[in-house]
Structure 1
Amino acid sequence: MLGLQSALVSLLFILADGALEVDVASGGRRGVDESIPVIEIRGEGKPMSAAQIRHLEEISNGGPLDIKVEKTFVPAKCVAAAKRKDFVSFHYKAFTEDGKKVDQTYGVGPVTIQLGTGMVIPGLDKGLRGMCSGELRKIQVPYRLSRKAKSRVWKNIPNDEHWLTFDVEMIHVQPYSEDGQFSFLDMNNDTRLDQNEVVGWLQRMKKEYGKSWKNEDIDNVSAAKYYIKYFDVNGDGKVEKREWLVVMRRDEDLMASRTDLSSKEKGRRRDPGVAWILDFNNDGVVSYKEVDEADELIEKGPTLLPIFKDEL
């Protein structure tokens, strides 16, 4: 009996509506104002991961953590402020949260990427927007915006830091243009694309920058075949620059005419690179559904063929 009483001393019944707390040991009653429930959580199984802990921290701060930007130098004249799809070249020094330098481009050469296309960690991509040639910024990136597959360019950037800091010097901003986009794809500068070159471009993007398909079932060779057929107006197995331009402008016109539909789609804005083909309905947005079905649709081949009334 004494053992039972001893066990009951620490047992509290807390009513679901918080109206009353009963202390079994003393038999007394206390009102709501006097009752402060104490919850003890005992861990069973594996401890929480760093990502789970950081998620809880973000919630406690009132919402997801975002980047922090400090403009340390802004040139008096800005010819072009960097925006999505622009090509930017920049130097950086990268530091961990405790101030340890983990990487820098000085002495090696600046990095050149296309903004908004998955070539860099999301937080740095966001922090580079609006920068002008010659501008200096300190960009702090929280964990949730620092995830990126390892690659040659980003191999020294850690994936497990609560905060990363980048001291960035913008070297050059090249505004997006259709000619510039084709040159970016045309790795051997012969003004035409073939299947092997498209496959090589996809492999380079993954190896150098960690940029890959969101749907892992997409095969690069199948995607390259689809891409060539999608742009190949004369059917010779190669895409001349003039062919590419006329098909791109056709798609841009289709996108502009379907803005009402694109606003309802959930997904990402259309990628101007090889992933252009994933927007199967040409509304300007690659929906989650299109990504999920992409491997099957690519194998079937394009339904919208590059056929025009006037020959090139």
Structure 2
Amino acid sequence: MLKTETPSSQHPDLDLYPVADLVSALVDDQLEAVSAVRAAAPDLARAVEAALPRMLDGGRLIYAGAGTSGRLGVLDSVELYPTFSWPHERAVGLIAGGAGAMFVAVEGAEDDAAQGGRDLLTVKVGPRDVVLLLAASGATPYVLGALQAAREAGALTLGFANNTGAPVARQAHIGITLDTGSEVISGSTRLKAGTAQKIALNTFSSALMVRLNKVYGNLMVDLKASNAKLLQRAVALTMRAAGCDEAVAMATLQGCDFHVKVAIVAIRLGIGVDTARERLDAVSGSVRQALTSGDPSP
């Protein structure tokens, strides 16, 4: 039996617990998710390094999963645009059962390996793409079908599983095993198995975006200011990174469509926003290099 399906030896009388103890048991078990991701950190680092050249070459991140895993993949793909201005068309989320499965479970969809392959072909997967295959069991047919199609197309494949020796991790170019073991509620992989996947996806995509110059220091300077909260965040980030007051930050941001990177370089160097944008374009969007005339060392 898969570890994720094996009944836990802890808390066999969970249904008898007082609410306070019940909540504590569920929360405490989540700590194992962090440990599982920490153990997989070397493989996550390998995945980032392998994915980077393909992203620099214009490739896409394509996520494929079923159920909870599929929803977590879609979530990661969707959040890359507001956080890092990563283009919508370069972050594709596929879930067994189609878009509607995000909201209503589509029974049996995960068992269709052929559909997994067809979905990858529908989005025209190619050799510049990076495909993240997500399955707690590591053997979901839909995901394995997507994996086969991705490999045949020459894409880089990253297999995420919560069971050791799982097919999706073995057959992918890089396997990332998040060994979370049995669940407090037996078989409910939306618990710590899902938590571990969320952490791993956050870690992978965020590290990749740092390497793609979406971050300056530890500031998210390439966000898309698409609502009031993010507009305020853009102003605060500009003030912090450029060492200016709110009025200067706001005026400069308004002149460059609230592109924080451009505003920082313009204010710090005392140049116009068009010139600042040109400097950034010349150094692949690196704020650090734009501020130092291409010298990456400071």
TM-score range, shorter chain: under 0.3
Higher relative contact order (CA 8 A, sep 6+): 2
Whichever of the two has the greater Rg, that structure is 1
Q: Which structure has the highest helix share of the two?
A: 2
Q: Which structure has the highest strand share of the two?
A: 1
